[in-house]
Amino acid sequence: MTWEILVDKFREAVLALPGNLNRDVKTAVKKGWLSRRRQGRTYVYYITKNGIEFIESKISMKTDEE
């Protein structure tokens, strides 16, 4: 997923973009939730197994609250 696709996905989901998306993506990479690979002149981001587990845990917590 490129940066442009990421921004488009926020819009498709009718979610507000974070105030500092660049910082948040860098944090996700540092925490191991996303992986970044160079593809030509741009970077492509992939969700990692740790990222999937993090999202699943958040969904589980949300479901448990309801």
pLDDT confidence of residue 64: 66
pLDDT one digit per residue (tens) for the chain, 66 residues: 888 888 888 888 888 888 998 999 999 999 999 999 999 998 899 999 999 999 888 887 766 666
pLDDT confidence of residue 5: 87
Tokens of 2: 């490129």
Question: If you search the block for the tokens 């498709």, which residue do you land on?
Answer: 12
Distance CA 61, CA 44 (A): 29
Distance CA 30, CA 1 (A): 17
Q: Are 12 and 1 in contact (CB under 8 A)?
A: no
